[in-house]
Amino acid sequence: MAGKKHPTVQEIFEAARQHHPGVSLATVYNTLTVLKERGLVYELGPDAAGAVHYELDVDTHVNVICIRCKQVIDLHHISTGLEEMVQAETGYQLVGAQMLYYGICPSCARDGAAD
């Protein structure tokens, strides 16, 4: 899983089985549930094929998912000012945020996959 920043459950399961052949898919789901509850991973999804991706970088940032090839990219440098507005409006002390955009990446658009 090295280098895979936004894996699906199936990808996590396959990587886990390489190191622990006896691990079950249920164990992966249960572990992800605990990690989500503790704020250690975020669920992104589903993509156009229905697969849920998991965000391993829990720092506040924007994600963009290609609806064709399922590529997910992180944008850390974009600040919308939305967090400050939400805090001002609600009085909440925010501990994180998740923003997700869907679109067609430049590669898929060039390949004519946008139809």
Q: Report yes or no on 45 lying in a domain.
A: yes
Using only C-alpha atoms, the chain has a radius of gyration, in whole angstroms, of 16
CATH number of the structural domain spanning residue 37: 3.30.1490.190
pLDDT tens by residue, the chain, 115 residues: 555 688 999 999 999 999 999 999 999 999 999 999 988 888 887 766 778 888 887 777 888 989 888 888 888 777 667 888 899 999 999 877 778 888 999 999 998 854 5
Query: Residue 1 domain-assigned?
Result: no
Please state whether 88 falls in left (phi above 0), alpha (psi between -120 and 50) or beta: alpha
* Residue 87 belongs to some domain of the structure: yes
Q: Which domain holds residue 92?
A: 9-110
Task: Name the DSSP class of 111.
Answer: T
**CA 90 distance to own-chain centroid:** 26
What are residue 101's phi and psi, to 5 degrees? Answer: -115, 145
- Which amino acid appears at position 41 of this protein? V
The answer to whether the annotation marks 68 as part of a ligand binding site is no
Is residue 81 a part of any domain in this protein? Answer: yes
69 is in an annotated binding site: yes
On whether 66 is known to bind a ligand per the annotation, the reply is: yes
Q: How many structural domains compose the chain?
A: 1
> Does 3 fall in a domain?
no
pTM value? 0.65
Neighbours of 11 (CB within 10 A): 16
Annotated binding-site residue? 5: no
Evaluate whether residue 115 is within a structural domain. Answer: no
39 within some domain: yes
